[in-house]
Amino acid sequence: MLNIILINSQVWSFRLKSPKTATLIFSSGKMVCTGAKSEEQAIKAVRSVVQKLRKGGIKIKKDAVIVIQNIVASASLGGRYTLNKPLGAYPEACMNRNNSQV
């Protein structure tokens, strides 16, 4: 049994425990893998998902062409924040359309 969640008629979500990643699979045949800590983990995750899909009986015409496109950085801000406040409550953080402070 595959660990796939049907999001809608055009998107599936596939989660792996190792490497801990989530892969969105689109009806177009494209995949997006998130959560990997390195390029090597991302490649391993995509290959693993493709292998599991094949074992689950899903016909995949060719090997996945893997392209690393984005790098994501994460940071801890050291506390909890109320994000449902209007951004206007933080005028120094607001930018206008010209990327200058309001």
User: What is the rounded distance in angstroms from the CA atom of residue 76 to the CA atom of residue 42?
Assistant: 23
- The dihedral built from the CA positions of residue 90, 95, 97 and 102, taken in this order, carries a sign that is positive
Q: What is the 3 state secondary structure string of the chain?
A: CCCEEEEECCEEEEEEECCEEEEEEECCCCEEEECCCCHHHHHHHHHHHHHHHHHCCCCCCCCCCCCCCCCCCCCCCCCCCCCCCCHHHCHHHCECCCCCEC
Domain ranges within the chain, ordered by starting residue: 1-102
CATH numeric code, 1-102: 3.30.310.10
Query: Per-residue pLDDT tens for 29-78?
Result: 899 999 999 999 999 999 999 998 888 888 888 888 999 988 777 778 78
Model confidence band, residue 86 (pLDDT cutoffs 50, 70, 90): low
